[in-house]
Amino acid sequence: METIEETLLELGNNHYLQALGVLLVSLILAKLTDWILTRGLTRLTQKTPSEIDDQMLAMIHKPIYYSVLAAGLAVAVTLVELPAPFGFISFGLIKTLVVLIWLILGIRLILLILDWMTLQPERFHIVQPDTKPLFDISARVILFGGALYFLLIAWNVDVTAWLASAGI
């Protein structure tokens, strides 16, 4: 007959239970991080007369939450010790999802900022309804280029030649 301590030690050596524990802790940490950052930043945004910072703060909730959650998922995958191709694929997919989440946020922020700048022609002379598409497309090209770079790194693709061709 095993004692409770021996049973707990055996459960503690189980990598799947450890991974499950890490996932549960990462869920709590993700919510806590989002809550703390949002609460602190909300106090700052309430002091400004502008609405744009409130909208930006509302947009950043999910990317922060999912990024912390993805970090916990990556640790859980490490604990499970998947066979060679599956571990690599799991990490690549996690990194890809994080890059895509932040890319989408970047695109939404650019649209929000450009719309806001267009509504204030006295402050931002260069951003007008006619020039807004130019800035939008330029920002998207830069964001997609950055996202492509991070996606290639996520899948361990050597980007030296790509950077050299860009003159970097």
pLDDT digits 0-9 by tens, 16-45? 888 898 999 999 999 999 999 989 988 888
- In the predicted structure, residue 9 carries a pLDDT above the cut 80: no
pLDDT class of 120 with cuts at 50, 70, 90: very high
Q: Using one digit for the tens of pLDDT, what is the confidence trace for 49-82?
A: 889 999 999 999 899 999 999 999 999 999 898 9
For residues 9 and 24, what is the distance between their CA atoms, to the nearest angstrom? Answer: 19
Q: Average model confidence (pLDDT) for the chain?
A: 91
- Strand, helix or coil for residue 160: helix
For residues 6 and 69, what is the distance between their CA atoms, to the nearest angstrom? Answer: 31
8-state DSSP, 43: H
Decide which of 1 and 166 is more confident: 166
- Looking at residue 29, its pLDDT comes to 96
User: Position of tokens 């409130």?
Assistant: 54
For residues 134 and 162, what is the distance between their CA atoms, to the nearest angstrom? Answer: 25
